[in-house]
A = this chain, B = another copy of it.
Amino acid sequence: MTRIWVINPNTTASMTATIERCARAVVAPDTSVTGVTSECGPSSIESHYDEAMSVPGLLQLVARGEREGVDGYVITCFGDPGLDAARELAQGPVIGIAEAAMHTASHLGRGFSVVTTLARTMGRAADLAEHYGMQRFCRGIHACEIPVLDLETDPVARKVVTEACHDAIEADGSDVVVLGCAGMADMCAQISAELGVPVVDGVSAATLTVQSLVAMGLRTSERGEFAAPPAKDYTLGG
């Protein structure tokens, strides 16, 4: 049995529930998926500030997972916060949803468009596309301007996101869509059906990437910078 934790780095438990459900829907029979919610930090991540402040809570969960023998982790925010630090803490693989979604999309077409929430997060998505080597496949990053938590409650959210996806592939000449927020995970199949192109949800993609790495017995390398961090004096915050 492969045990995977999908970690929601914001503190909104209802979002974790959706994420967990989407991840469970795609894994193999012998993979268990547990959604875990950060216990400190922002209720949603929509700025560099939110992202930075979400990382300590996320790393706390990874440390706990290590004590419990978890096989691998998914970070379910499209900014992939704390990914490098989490890789230092964990023995098994850690995958971000932006990372997995972009890699996955690159297998399916000539180029993809990302549709994300607020325009102010587009720069981070572009940084990640470059960091993962996916810039050459990423033809555009677009915002639908729906705040993260409204994706759950706004009755027209899916319609707006679908339209943004449609406009994005037209404008970019793309043949694949990447959804740029974990909160869009459960919209994936319907948008794909409506637009007639593959639409990639990073939560599913990252969970399956972890499952595959564990199946191959592959862990983050300990040779070099992802070795366990050196012990150190830490002053607690107030």
Contacts and interface: CB of A to CB of B under 8 A. Distances in A.
B46 A230 contact: yes
Q: Size band of the A side of the interface?
A: 35 or more
B108 A225 contact: no
A49 B123 CA distance: 23
Nearest to A189: B217
B109 A229 contact: no
A95 interface: yes
A99 B93 CA distance: 19
Contacts of A120: 224-225, 227
Kindly report how many copies of this chain are found in the complex they form together: 6
B232 A44 contact: yes
Contact of A237 (B47, B50, B57): B57
Given A234-B43, A237-B39, A84 B224 contact: no
B127 A133 contact: no
Contact of A127 (B93, B131, B208): B131
Interface of A: 11, 26-31, 38-44, 46-53, 55-57, 59-60, 82, 84-85, 87-89, 93, 95, 99, 103-104, 106-110, 118-124, 127, 130-137, 147, 169, 173, 175-176, 189, 192, 196-198, 200-201, 204-205, 208-209, 211-213, 215-227, 229-230, 232-238
Which A-B residue pairs are the 6 nearest by beta carbons? A133-B133, A28-B28, A40-B237, A47-B229, A175-B221, A208-B212
